[in-house]
Structure 1
Amino acid sequence: MNIELRQDDVRSNTRLKIVDVDIHPKSSVEDLKPYLSKRWWDHLVTYGARQRQGYLKGFPYPKMQPMASRRDSWPPDGGLPASNLGFMKQQFLDAYPIEYAIMNPLSPTGQGDQNSEFSAAMAYAANEFQLEGWHKQDQRLLASVVVPFEDGDATRVEVKRRAVDKRFAHVLLKTRTNDLLGKKQYWPVYEAAIEAGLPIGIHVFGTSGRPASNTGWPSFYIEDMTEHASCCQAQVASLVLEGVFERYPELKIVMIEAGFGWMPSLGWRMDKNWKKLKDEVPHLKKAPSEYMREHIWVSTQPMEETDAPQQLIDTMTWIGWDKIMFSSDYPHWDFDDPFRALPPSLDEKTRNMIFCENARSLYKLDV
């Protein structure tokens, strides 16, 4: 949706509590300056980011709305959407019964930059600003550990730095990486997350210079949005079939902003192929779908919609009701209003699981 037309009184009276696992506060490069050394600040202003994509600045595709955001999310001070905490509280944090909201900063973060040292410096700065610029002002806002995920050693350093800090919810990766996430070059990332006791959140997008499809670049933004699902399927298949979950039984993965309608069919297809080709992957000790159900959580937004509501219920049942967590994607144009997002047929217990209990359990928010 683009404009919130009503603010129902029920929001202030409801007993519902919400843990939103995906919001996108916006920072500027100036916000990160206090947390960058002179070397890296000079590098940033002189050379800028070096992303692996056709455009060094801007998006590969024009978005549905400017900054991919709701038209009503631009704050009165003229800043970018979700850059003003007071306006964010008025429009979102206080307008709904938000208990916690997990920040997944998309830019500027340095993730995927071609200069791995610069990427590490930017990740550190982005993490510091999440704490000082956001969480310190409102403790409902939990940070993600932004990491230079293409550099396993640098990622380990950053995750270790944040390991004992309860203000961080998970380690943040992107779906469009230089290689498939099951490859061993990324295993140090998983080891670091496990050592820190943190899940890994894998959010769609990235600047690897690769399209979401398995071939070329799509022509339209609508294609790019649709193909997030195929990109996520490739990454999940890689994690499962390369043996990541067998090697790291404690690893917990959250697929963020990718929908989830693709999960059952991917599991079915991998199981079918595994029955015939299991000799090729002897490191797998059980069916691929079992690894998916044990190790993968999903966020709700952007939830698939169907004219046959039971199909959606069946899909969610296959994934597991304890593996589904609410996300709004605030302030983006396809924001999901918590009071309109879930299937109306869900009972109160199931709604509470999705809105808060599953996230509380995964992120140990009651500990």
Structure 2
Amino acid sequence: MNDDSRQTVRDLPEITAATDTRDYLSHAARFAQQHEKYELIVDVDAHLQEAQFWPEIIDLLENDVLKQTAQAMLKGGSVMPLSNLAPGQNFQSMAGRVPHQSGPREPTDDPDTGGHRFVQIVRRTMNTMGVDYQVIFPTAMLLLGLSPVDGAELYLARAYNRWLRDTILPQEKRILGMVYLPFNSQEECEKLVKEFSSVPGIIGFTVTSVRNVPVHSSSYMRLYAMIEETGKPLVFHAGPNWNDASFQMLNRFISMHALSFVHYNMIHMTNWIVNAIPERFPKLKTLWVEGGLAWIPYLMQRLDHEFLMRQNEAPGLKKLPSDYMKEMYFSSQPMEQVHPNALKVTMDMMNAET
């Protein structure tokens, strides 16, 4: 190879949490310019890192005891009080290789853009990647469904939803949100559906899947009917849980993440289908978020196989379980791309084109 073919090598500053979003997404910007043929691109699961905004949410707590307790924790150095996270076992950042996991610390004093700091950063992200809309999700609340603190999920849900409605959504129409449902309290979920279903920018209702509740319980039927009436989807967002007894046998984060992330959504979907919830609420759209896609054909095959042998145990079903799954919606990033042929089969089985 002659010298003329060599590219000039230059030193680049280290990417940290303080790096400007537009800089560390520069490759994504070039990629977006090569794919301008897409008329509409929606990021349906944009995780926000709430650490630097958490005090704003704490201030909105409607329970004075929890509010004062959380504020005292903040003063004592706790980053995300009441969130039920396990910071001592947070391997998500890969020992600092993914710096944005701790929350962006980049400057947001650009005179050309205004508004809340979070809104400014999301705008940069959307503009750089060529995304038309981003649907934001509260990362820190993934494990709230297992919180042992009485009322923590209920009051944090209300505070987050109010913060979203009153502070974030009015500042940018391209930012969309889902109502966080404190699923352990059916009555409170119903109140939130009534209060937030018509809020501009609210496009659906989210249940964090890491929780031990039966989604087919009769106590949820009125909630499902209310959501169905809004015409907006019900979202089940997957998440990992290393504290589950089964997954405590795994000694590496990679092992737990591979298995645990799909675990709860598989349980909820199995209960959802076998108990014929789609037949009871045929117009209720369900969206299953994260956990990859490989579990979908697996569950289709397992449920179809069992159903054909034991149809008497699922008398409410009028077709194969996989046929109900084909009518559902799925979102995941990244997809399992290592085996492209398997990914193609997955796409075909879930009717990805439609």
Counterpart of 1:124 in structure 2: which amino acid? R
Q: Which runs of 4+ in 1 moved over 6 A?
A: none
Is residue 312 from structure 1 mapped to residue 346 from structure 2 by the alignment? Answer: no
2:185, 2:33 → 1: CA distance?
A: 45
* Residue 223 of structure 1, CA deviation: 1.5
Which residue in 1 is equivalent to 2:135?
102
**Which structure has the higher relative contact order (CA within 8 Å, separation 6+)?**
1
Q: Is the 8 A contact 1:18 1:99 kept in 2?
A: yes
CA distance 1:158–1:209, shift in 2 (3 Å): farther
TM-score by length of 1: 0.74
Pairwise CA distance, 1:178: 1.7
Q: Report deviation, 1:196.
A: 2.7
Instruction: Tell me the residue number matched to 2:326.
Output: 293
CA contact (8 A) 1:260 1:300 kept: yes
Counterpart for residue 6 of structure 2: none
1:20 to 36, 40, 43: 43
Distance 1:225 1:95, change over 3 A: same
Report the alpha carbon displacement of residue 188 of structure 1 after superposing the two structures with TM: 4.2
1:317 is displaced (CA, Å) by: 1.5
Moved more, 200-209 or 223-232: 200-209
1:1-367 correspondence to structure 2 within 5 Å = 4=25, 6-9=27-30, 11-12=32-33, 14-16=36-38, 17-27=40-50, 28-37=53-62, 39=64, 40-45=66-71, 48-49=81-82, 51=84, 57-58=86-87, 60-65=89-94, 69-70=98-99, 74-77=104-107, 84-90=118-124, 92-107=125-140, 111-112=144-145, 113-115=147-149, 117-205=151-239, 210=244, 213=246, 216-227=248-259, 228-294=261-327, 296-307=328-339, 309-322=340-353
Shift of 1:106: 2.2
Deviation at 1:254, TM superposition (A): 1.0
- Give the direction of change, closer, same or farther, for the CA distance of 1:313–1:181 in structure 2 (3 Å limit): same
C-alpha spacing 1:57/1:194, structure 2 compared with 1 (3 Å): same
The one-letter code sitting in structure 2 at the alignment partner of 1:298 is: F
Q: How far off is 1:60 after superposition? A: 4.8
Aligned length: 310
Query: How much has 1:45 moved relative to structure 2?
Result: 3.0
Question: Structure 1 residue 103: deviation in Å?
Answer: 0.8
Is the partner of 2:190 in helix, strand or coil? helix
- The residue identity in structure 2 corresponding to 1:6 is H
Distance 1:10 1:305, change over 3 A: closer
CA distance in 1, matches of 2:186, 2:244: 20
1:93 Cα deviation from its structure 2 partner = 0.9
In 2, Cα distance between equivalents of 1:23 and 1:164: 22
In structure 1, what is the equivalent of residue 3 of structure 2?
none
Q: CA RMSD in A?
A: 3.2
Could you tell me how far 1:231 is from its partner in structure 2? 3.3
Letter in 1 for 2:182: P
Distance 2:243 2:205 in 1: 22
1:239–1:77 CA distance, 2 compared to 1 (3 A): same
3-state SS of 2:244 partner: coil
What is the alpha-carbon distance in structure 2 between the residues aligned to residue 274 and residue 59 of structure 1? 43
Q: What's the secondary structure of 2:42's corresponding residue?
A: strand
Runs of 5+ consecutive residues of structure 2 not aligned to the other structure: 1-15, 17-23, 74-80, 109-115
Aligned residues of 1:201 and 1:255 also touching (Cα < 8 A): yes
In the TM superposition, what is the alpha-carbon distance from 1:69 to its structure 2 partner?
4.6
Gaps of 5+ in 1: 324-367
Cα drift, residue 59 of structure 1: 6.3
TM-score by length of 2: 0.76
- 1:273-300 CA distances to partner (integer Å, 9 max, x unpaired)? 1111111221222211111112x21113
1:322: how far off?
4.5
AA aligned to 1:147 is L
CA contact (8 A) 1:257 1:301 kept: yes
CA distance in 2, matches of 1:133, 1:84: 10
CA gap 1:109/1:276 in 2 versus in 1, 3 angstroms: closer
Measure how far apart 1:71 and its partner are.
5.0
Partners of 1:65 and 1:71 within 8 A in 2: no
Report the CA distance between 1:11 and its aligned residue: 3.1
Give the superposition deviation at 1:183.
3.6
Amino acid at match of 1:96: M
